[in-house]
Structures are given as structure tokens and as C-alpha cells.
Structure 1
Amino acid sequence: MSHSRLVLGAFGLAVAVDLVSLAAGSDAGHAVAKPLLMPLLALWAVLRRAPRPLVAALLFGWGGDVLLLSDAEAAFLAGMGCFAAGHVCYLVLFERYGSRYAVPRARAGLLALGYATALVTTVALLWPDLPADLCLPVTGYSLLLTAMAYRAAIRLGLFTGLGGALFLFSDTLIATGVAGRPQPPGPDFWIMLTYSAAQALLAGGTLGALNARRAPAVTYGEMRAG
């Protein structure tokens, strides 16, 4: 088994331990497993010859993960800053390595409308219940996150687009908790499930798209020889 598969397996195991810990109410298990997720995924990406912006985005995610283990508001703001930096890295990645024709123009327009509607609706609903000093930071972060999710879909296609959408969903769950809005039972479980899947899809979708472009085209002679 290759090193990259071993590391990916370790990432999957860490995700499973984290989710089981959250379901069982084990704060200690969550505190141990959560900080392992993004370093393992980043190492897998490095072994797969990932572009630097992707590795940087995952490592900024690791910084955010560690900071959000604390309930302090200063840690929350710093963690949000780390994730914001990660979204900037993703935007650089999509611009530098994405395709202008990953989705048809009409579908891109519908996606833009959908994401814009989701952004405005979410901010309008949460704004009155957010702490006053978090209103502007959360709004700015939401704008950046929505831009990342949209660009993931239109520049690199289905898997990265789904990753961006799940990232948006996961962070919306966090925001509803901060605003004191109703959440599903066991919100931390669903936050980590969708977040882990989001980062994995963003990384895997990006590498899959890039590897498909790196693969040499099969010539007519090779097809006849096969």
C-alpha cells in the first residue's frame, strides 16, 4: 500500500474517532482527534503533489480547528481569521488551477443567484441575534466563505463544488449556535461530519481534476495497440 493511502486511511480513522467521541459526549476524544484531521489531510495532499495553495488552505484549517477548541471569544475570532485565510488560499487555488469552463455559463449564473440568496438570507436572519462585536466579522467571513463555495463549483466542478457547499453548511451551523438559534440534536457531530467531508472533497476534487489534466492523451496508435 502506498504512503498516500496509508495517510488517507489515518485521516479516515481520525474522522471516525472524532465523530464517535462527539456522539458519545467525550470531550477528551474530540480534543485529541480534531487537531489530527487537517495535518493528515495536508500530508496526503503533499504526497499527491498538491499545489501549495491547497496545502496552505488545509493548514490554515488546522489552525482554526485548534483555536475553536476553546470557548473564548478571542479564540473564536482568531479561528475565524484562520479559516478566512484558508478560503483566500482556496480562491487563489481555483483561480490559478481551475478551468473557466468547468460548468456551463447558464448553470454558473444560477449558482451565483443561489449562493447570493443564501448569503443575504442567512446574514439577515442571524444579524439581530449575533453579539454586537461579531456582526461585522461574521458578515465579512460569510461573504468570503460563500465566494469560495461558488468558485469551487464553477472552476473545478462537482466534487469541489460539493465540498464548498458542505463547508458553507457546516459554518452556518456554527453561526446559528453563536446566534442562539435552534440547531439539530448533537450539532457538533453534524458540524464536524460536514466539515471533514468538505475539506476532503475540496482536496480530493482538486487533485482529481489536476491529475486528469496531467494524464497524457491516448494516441490513436496506442488505442489500436490495446
Structure 2
Amino acid sequence: MPFRPIDMLLFLALVAGSSYYADHWLNLHGTIATAWKGLGVGLLALWAFARGRPWIGLVLAFGAFGDVLLDAVSLTVGAIAFLAGHILAVGFYWRHRRSPALPVFPVTLVIGSVAGMLTASGNWVGVAIYSLGLGLMFETAWTSRFSRTTVGLGAALFVISDLLIFARLGPLAASPLPGLLIWPTYFAGQALIAWGVVSELAREDLHDRI
């Protein structure tokens, strides 16, 4: 994919998102910490928009909103923003599905079952609805025509990150493992999705012009 000046947004996104991992030890609070958390995926969204990919840009934007709302408001409100992004992602990946597309739902059911077992929350309905969106996002990403080493892997890392969040609410509440792994798996997943989609569509555009 040819480099453009707007690709500095991608570089800045990677710096912002990677550096936020330090907050696991700094444990900052307030507006600065919340803005820092949302900056990485927010810049990925801006980069996708600047590259002319508004649909995946909007998916990433909802992810950035979710990052901010998780801290600024509550886990439930942040999850709603992420769910909206998952729904948009399902539509996007389904539009770009492989032909013929592999059947969906089995992995979705597994993800939902694991999430339900991990969380100690009494909000079973909310967990089930969110897990449905998460699972469908992963399955449609995996069965899309985008590379599984970027977009497919990115979606898988996103799932792992969310399952670690559920585990932190349940059986791993006293373990340091979720805190160490949630952010790197999540941000790496979002970065791989952004790069995989934008670069693949850019290659296709270049091929069409040749």
C-alpha cells in the first residue's frame, strides 16, 4: 500500500495505543487517562476515514467511544457502544464475505457460552446479547475475504480481550493476568483489523486502476 502523509495518523495511533499499556502501572485517573485510552483507536478510525474507508472507520470510532465510556460512565454503557460497532462490523464483513460464505453461529454460541460461564454478573441477558454481537463479528470477519492473518486474527484477539474482561468479573477476579493482557490483545486486534481492511481495499483499488 503506497505511503501517504495521512498515514502518519496510523503511526500516531500505534504510538498512542501502545503507550497506554503503561497506565496499567501508572494507574492514572480522570480526563487525561480517559482521553489517552480512547486516542489509539480514535486515531485508527481517523486514519480509516482519511483513507476513504468510512464503514470500517465508523466501526473503529464506536470502539473508541466504548473505550472512553467504559471509564467515563460505566461498563454497561461502554459495552453498548462496542455492540453498536460489532453490528456495523457484521454488516461490513458480510458484504465482503467469501463466496460461498462458511456457515456462521457455531463459534458464536461457543463464545456466548464461555462468556456466560466466566462472568459472575447477574445481567445474563446483557451478557448474552453482547456475546451474540461479539461472536457474529468474529465469524463474519473470519469468513470474509479479508486476510485471516490480519483481520481474522484481529477479530480473534478482540474476542480474547473481551473474554478476559468477563473472566476478571468472575473466576479471575483476584488474578493479575486479565489486567496484563486485556489492553494489548484488544488494541493489537483493532490495529490488525484497521490495517487489514484498509490495505486490502487499497490494493484492490490500485489493481483496478492498472
Give secondary structure in 1 for the equivalent of 2:55: helix
Q: 2:185 aligns with which of 194, 197, 208?
A: 194
Q: Is the 8 A contact 2:112 2:135 kept in 1?
A: no
Q: Is the 8 A contact 1:152 1:161 kept in 2?
A: yes
**1:126 aligned to 2:118?**
yes
Aligned residues: 205
Report the Cα offset of residue 18 of structure 1: 0.4
**1:68 aligned to 2:70?**
yes
Q: 1:45 aligns with which of 20, 24, 48?
A: 48
| In structure 1, C-alpha distance between the alignment counterparts of 2:114 and 2:132, rounded to whole Å | 11
Structure with max Cα Rg: 1
Q: Matches of residues 138-217 of structure 1 in structure 2 within 5 Å?
A: 138-155=127-144, 156-158=146-148, 159-182=150-173, 184-185=175-176, 187-216=178-207
Query: Residues 118-159 of structure 1, C-alpha deviation per residue, up to 9 Å, x if partnerless?
Result: 3254045236x22x2x21101110011011001101112311
| In structure 1, C-alpha distance between the alignment counterparts of 2:40 and 2:108, rounded to whole Å | 30
Give secondary structure in 2 for the equivalent of 1:31: helix
Q: Is the 8 A contact 1:164 1:202 kept in 2?
A: yes
| In structure 2, C-alpha distance between the alignment counterparts of 1:139 and 1:23, rounded to whole Å | 32
Q: Is the 8 A contact 1:166 1:197 kept in 2?
A: yes
Report the Cα offset of residue 191 of structure 1: 1.0
Equivalent residue number for residue 20 of structure 1: 22
Query: Residues 148-171 of structure 1, C-alpha deviation per residue, up to 9 Å, x if partnerless?
Result: 001101112311111111111111
Which structure 1 residue ranges, 5 or more long, are not aligned?
220-226
| In structure 2, C-alpha distance between the alignment counterparts of 1:183 and 1:153, rounded to whole Å | 33
| In structure 2, C-alpha distance between the alignment counterparts of 1:12 and 1:36, rounded to whole Å | 10
CA distance 1:126–1:97, shift in 2 (3 Å): same
Query: TM-score, normalized by length of structure 1?
Result: 0.79
Q: Is the 8 A contact 1:22 1:30 kept in 2?
A: no
Equivalent residue number for residue 87 of structure 2: 88
Q: Is the 8 A contact 1:80 1:141 kept in 2?
A: yes
Structure 1 range deviating more: 32-41 or 139-148: 32-41
Query: TM-score, normalized by length of structure 2?
Result: 0.84
Quote the sequence identity (%): 27
Report the Cα offset of residue 181 of structure 1: 3.3
CA root-mean-square deviation: 2.6
Which structure 2 residue ranges, 5 or more long, are not aligned?
none
